[in-house]
Structure 1
Amino acid sequence: MKPLVILSLLLSFSLQAQLLKDNSNFKEKDSLRGGLRFERTCFDVLHYNLDIKIDPDQKYISGSNTITFKVIKPTAKIQLDLYKNMRIDSIVYQSKKLKYKRRFNAVFVEFQKEFNKADTAKVEVFYQGHPTEAKRAPWDGGFDFSKDEEGNHFIGVAVQGDGASLWYPNKDHLSDEPDLGAAIKVSVPNGLMNVSNGRLIEEIPLENNYTKWHWEVTKPINNYNITINIGKYVNFKDQYKNLDLDYYVLENHLEVAKIHFEQVHEMMDCFYEKFGDYPFIEDSFKLVETPYLGMEHQSCVAYGNQYNFGYMGNDLSGTGKGLDWDFIIIHESAHEWFGNSVSVADIADLWVHEGFTTYAEGVFIECKNGYDDAMEYLYGIRRNIENKRPLIGAYGVNHSGPGDVYYKGANMINTLRSIVNDDKLWWKTLKNFAESFKHQITNTNEVIDFFNRELKQDYSSFFDQYLNYNDIPVLQIRRKGKNKVQMKWKAHAKQFEMPIFVSFIEDKEVYQINLDRNWTTTQLKMKDLQNLRIDNYTSYFTIEYIDEQ
């Protein structure tokens, strides 16, 4: 039986639904960062070979990135990206320096001869500089140059939204992941270690008391997921089925980490069942301790929750249901399926990454403690929803939706499960979604089309309302004549329709009423409303009683 809440006729309210206009004043800098002009669409990145040295004392990066690409349309010019505070020393193709022009953080590279379609080429960008430091990573992008409890350098980076070009040259757009992965070679002072994505290939002693740590990731990867983690790490290993688990933690945290990270097995049990096998088995799964809270770096999840349960010891839902598991482990690891494997082409569609990942928190609770606890948690996180902006941002200008992409996104997905009202079909569809879009780049329209097709019903107006308008549907109830009850949805989306589920106190039977934006005369009588329970607990909407006496 669905959990239900009692409809109180004593509380009547009216919501003035409005589509919040986007008042952002976008400029050329934004379109250069987020747009897909010819200089970007004319080539496809195949591989990055990043080879850099980091001086922790000076907070300085120097080195190069060799970018292998395939030509999609004949061209003699391409756009790369690197923040203007990072100095380019030279850009080299076939041992010759190329001309280039900067426009804000965009770098337009000019070749001496036009490439033909299907040509492949390598260009090496040499650069150096002090990268942007984050004031409060991971909420703002940049490096975190910290020290551990023993006074050793402890360094991390998180750049989602701000972009990987904050610290290394690349084609900084979500639509193009390097198809063949990346080599990440980072030289750091002896006594420190760098941990990056994928597998450790070799540890190379260098002159001047430096060591180069060479990592390789073999699968396509978002630019912002490529990462470095520098510290005095110790490593311990584990295994889940055929998946290698590697953990890199500070030495004095080793014993607590061995116990705390045991929950990874329980998490994998759940996510394998609900979402399918881990998407990056070839590159392994790692948790790496960081000086900041966390980030979903592919195959190298940043962990900084200080071995607490919940979110820094708190429960984002306010229900207590988030306090017997580590939020950062579960949330950031769920991104391996949603965000890292299933990725979007424009950050405006970030709800796909964050909505499904936040929903995965509820999925984990359901696996662990049951359906009722999961629904209570998902209902509880609604307190974080603001409903001030639509979930979808502006396309082509590197503009994401609001923080609601997390909590409202998760509740929208849970509402869809509720109205589908067929858990066998739901879990099959959710797993098929993760597996069908594995290692792919997608967008909102493709996601909606998939769910419409798999669930065998058109939910386009449902998604339209929850994604493109800041307010949620309002169930309006009014008296018709002396005794009859009418209901309808107040919503912006055209042809909006959604069923509600009702029952009566002391009656286990649940009844479905199908409603749209037109008044529907129900079988209910006014006296029935005193004992009526309407499910807006597993479905996310509000209720308005209209007294027309």
Structure 2
Amino acid sequence: MRFSTFAALLLAGTATQAAAQEPPVPAESLPPLSPFTADSGAPLSVAQAATDLPRLDLAIRIDPANKAISGEADYIIRANAPVEMAEFDLDPRFSVTSITVDGNETRYESADGQLSIPLGRTLAAGETARVSIAWNGKPWVAKRAPWDGGFVWSETPEGKPWVATAVQMEGCDMFWPCIDHPTKEVERLNSAITVPEGLVAAGNGTLLGHDTADGWTTWRWSTRNPNTYAIAINVGPYELASASFESRFGNTIPLKFWHLPGHAPQAAALLDEMKTYLDFFEEMIGPYPFGDEKVGLAETPHLGMEHQTINAYGNEFKPSPQGYDGLAQHEFAHEWFANQLTNSSNNDMWLQEGLGTYMQPLFQQWRDGEAAYLAALSSQRLALLNRTPVVPSSPITSNYYLDTDAGWGKDIYSKGSQISHTLRQLIGDEAFFTSIRRLVYGRADPKPGNFVPQFRSTADFQRIAEEESGKDLGWFFDTYLREAALPVLKQNRVGDRLELEWVRESGKPFPMPVEVQFGGRVVSVPMTGGKGSVNLGSERMHYVIDPLAKVLRYSATVERWQAWVAEQQEKAKKAKSGT
């Protein structure tokens, strides 16, 4: 999702990503976004749970002049249990012009953003029906894409229409009828996006072709198993940069970048950089999941988003002191951690965002070595808030992401990354990376064509990591993911002996080993039951706890610094407002 390491920059008062966004287009007289549509991933209804989606032919016409859309969603649905009703989510601001079942017009009910469509018969498990929905209207305009989602109606510097969507928190029902839940992916999506002649619609998957008639051009795309919020509209006077990558798995992967005119050199350079990312991910994680389609980028008027095989890119090709485009790399990480592996509920979103964020320091370790890795992790550490569990105990809505008091929408990034690092140090590289592969691909030996999309929970990750490491990791996952506060390491020096004790929020033991450096050596102190000690050999012996920062723990120093930053920001805010 949104470039994750921005949290540290926000704490330092340099919100460069937010500042890079174009001002939102006024919503004119549109009604407010309904609570049902504003939320994504709400519990499935009985009918929705019983409905699988083997195919969708989705036709959408984009009218930039009127900031309006119209479309038809032609579904083949399949019952996985007896079902008499089809239920789809769609923003009620749209007008539904017709609904048919197996070609016959049907009555339906529409309430609070959900369409209830009688099938006229009971589908037994395995049986199919065809449901077609036509709609039109003015979609919700994003106030601050990609954080607050919707349509972005913008213009290029030359005054040409430049249109994009970003709907992760609000979901697919913001602009097309869908089952707005991460587990309800369409197995095959054929999309036809019609735009004014002269514009290009860059879409998900493989381009099948395009045709022009009566001043409009229709661009036809096909993809498999798209993540529901990763189906995207990208329209502009695009030019195309192309390249290819010879995978270590024997297949050739096409790379495509739809960029604005005048950006050809920058686009070509970023495509070359993408090859490095591909090499990294395929070595460390496994095969690119959509190598039979493409690696795709579309230049957008908002910062970025992990739209499957057509990642939104709005970072303006900015250089970075790390020597790589962190936004492009982060969004690309989501092809593995969001689009191939999808969290099974909102509560488990850290699997997408935390593991996706860990891929930035891991990339720096792979490319530049240990110092770059530790420096990147140290920077991320400053952003942690620890106000609420990374995995809340009760079901949450996607809107919880924007709850600034809870801070959950920030911690799932950097804290998730720090947790990943600590788990890796605890169980070792072999167990850690095998666990990641099994989590992402459903198997430890992924190769192109031998895996399918995975829907995963934190419990799944814990089970897999325990199987691979041979260790009980309940205490680890409970402490870091199901409790808010970080564990505190208490130190007490008694003569030449250093006594250590872990204290966690629940009061339960935390048997995390701790390394202590002294006298030119490093000793790993077992912390059975959460306590341990080491003989330093001298009352005056200098020592360093956890010299390589292997363990995520509470830091009073960071907490004081964060409080100071918040105080300075509040002073600056008051000074600006004159209060």
Q: TM-score, with normalisation over the residues of structure 1?
A: 0.87
- Report the secondary structure of 1:268's partner residue: helix
Structure 2 vs 1, CA of residues 97 and 248 (structure 1 numbering), >3 Å: closer, same or farther?
same
Q: What is the rounded CA distance, in whole Å, between the counterparts of 2:530 and 2:198 in structure 1?
A: 70
Aligned to 1:211: 217
Q: What is the rounded CA distance, in whole Å, between the counterparts of 2:236 and 2:308 in structure 1?
A: 19
Q: What is the rounded CA distance, in whole Å, between the counterparts of 2:480 and 2:368 in structure 1?
A: 29
- AA matched with 2:420: I
- Report the secondary structure of 1:70's partner residue: strand
- Report the secondary structure of 2:308's partner residue: coil
Q: What is the rounded CA distance, in whole Å, between the counterparts of 1:235 and 1:28 in structure 2?
A: 38
- Report the secondary structure of 2:501's partner residue: strand
- Report the secondary structure of 2:463's partner residue: helix
Q: What is the rounded CA distance, in whole Å, between the counterparts of 2:324 and 2:542 in structure 1?
A: 40
Aligned to 1:416: 423
Structure 2 vs 1, CA of residues 397 and 380 (structure 1 numbering), >3 Å: closer, same or farther?
closer
- AA matched with 1:256: Q
Aligned to 1:513: 525
Structure 2 vs 1, CA of residues 170 and 544 (structure 1 numbering), >3 Å: closer, same or farther?
closer
Deviation sequence 1:127-174 (CA, Å, 0-9, x none):
011111111110111011000011100110000011010000011111
Structure 2 residue 265 is the aligned partner of structure 1 residue 252: no
Instruction: After TM superposition, list the pairs within 5 Å mapping 1:169-188 onto structure 2.
Output: 169-179=177-187, 181-188=188-195
Instruction: After TM superposition, list the pairs within 5 Å mapping 1:126-275 onto structure 2.
Output: 126-179=134-187, 181-207=188-214, 209-217=215-223, 219-241=224-246, 242-275=252-285
Assess if the C-alpha contact under 8 Å between 2:503 and 2:509 holds in 1: no
Q: What is the rounded CA distance, in whole Å, between the counterparts of 1:396 and 1:41 in structure 2?
A: 19
Assess if the C-alpha contact under 8 Å between 1:152 and 1:231 holds in 2: yes
- Report the secondary structure of 1:454's partner residue: helix
Q: How much does 1:529 deviate? A: 6.1
Instruction: After TM superposition, list the pairs within 5 Å mapping 1:318-337 onto structure 2.
Output: 320=321, 323-337=322-336
Aligned to 1:534: 546
Q: What is the rounded CA distance, in whole Å, between the counterparts of 1:483 and 1:254 in structure 2?
A: 65
Structure 2 residue 442 is the aligned partner of structure 1 residue 436: yes
| Matching residue within 471, 474, 493 for 2:488 | 474
Assess if the C-alpha contact under 8 Å between 1:389 and 1:470 holds in 2: yes
Q: How much does 1:543 deviate? A: 6.0
Q: How much does 1:527 deviate? A: 2.2
Q: What is the rounded CA distance, in whole Å, between the counterparts of 2:71 and 2:152 in structure 1?
A: 19
Aligned to 1:5: none
Aligned to 1:395: 395
In the alignment, structure 1 segments of 5+ residues that lack a partner are 1-26, 311-319
Instruction: After TM superposition, list the pairs within 5 Å mapping 1:68-107 onto structure 2.
Output: 68-107=76-115
Q: What is the rounded CA distance, in whole Å, between the counterparts of 2:540 and 2:337 in structure 1?
A: 44
Q: What is the rounded CA distance, in whole Å, between the counterparts of 1:540 and 1:434 in structure 2?
A: 24
38-47 vs 392-401, which moves further: 392-401
Q: What is the rounded CA distance, in whole Å, between the counterparts of 2:490 and 2:371 in structure 1?
A: 27
Q: TM-score, with normalisation over the residues of structure 2?
A: 0.82
Assess if the C-alpha contact under 8 Å between 2:40 and 2:170 holds in 1: no
Assess if the C-alpha contact under 8 Å between 2:103 and 2:130 holds in 1: no
245-254 vs 397-406, which moves further: 397-406
Instruction: After TM superposition, list the pairs within 5 Å mapping 1:115-130 onto structure 2.
Output: 115-130=123-138
Q: What is the rounded CA distance, in whole Å, between the counterparts of 1:504 and 1:302 in structure 2?
A: 49
Regions of 4+ moved over 6 Å:
27-32
Aligned to 1:317: none
46-55 vs 389-398, which moves further: 389-398
Deviation sequence 1:264-321 (CA, Å, 0-9, x none):
11111111100111011111111111111111011111111101134xxxxxxxxx5x
- AA matched with 1:309: P
Q: What is the rounded CA distance, in whole Å, between the counterparts of 1:524 and 1:436 in structure 2?
A: 46
Aligned to 1:492: 505
Deviation sequence 1:339-395 (CA, Å, 0-9, x none):
110111112210000011100011111121112211110121111211112112442
Aligned to 1:66: 74
Q: How much does 1:424 deviate? A: 4.2
Structure 2 vs 1, CA of residues 33 and 519 (structure 1 numbering), >3 Å: closer, same or farther?
closer
- Report the secondary structure of 2:356's partner residue: helix
Structure 2 vs 1, CA of residues 249 and 468 (structure 1 numbering), >3 Å: closer, same or farther?
same
In the alignment, structure 2 segments of 5+ residues that lack a partner are 1-34, 247-251, 402-407, 444-451, 558-579
- AA matched with 1:148: T
- Report the secondary structure of 2:468's partner residue: helix
Assess if the C-alpha contact under 8 Å between 1:72 and 1:117 holds in 2: yes
Structure 2 residue 53 is the aligned partner of structure 1 residue 45: yes
Q: What is the rounded CA distance, in whole Å, between the counterparts of 2:433 and 2:143 in structure 1?
A: 41
68-77 vs 434-443, which moves further: 434-443
Structure 2 vs 1, CA of residues 390 and 57 (structure 1 numbering), >3 Å: closer, same or farther?
same
Assess if the C-alpha contact under 8 Å between 2:439 and 2:454 holds in 1: no
Aligned to 2:459: 445
Structure 2 vs 1, CA of residues 299 and 523 (structure 1 numbering), >3 Å: closer, same or farther?
same
Q: What is the rounded CA distance, in whole Å, between the counterparts of 2:383 and 2:463 in structure 1?
A: 29
Q: What is the rounded CA distance, in whole Å, between the counterparts of 1:443 and 1:531 in structure 2?
A: 40
Q: How much does 1:425 deviate? A: 4.2
- AA matched with 2:327: I
460-469 vs 224-233, which moves further: 460-469
Q: What is the rounded CA distance, in whole Å, between the counterparts of 1:134 and 1:544 in structure 2?
A: 39
More contact order relative to length (CA 8 Å, sep ≥ 6) = 1
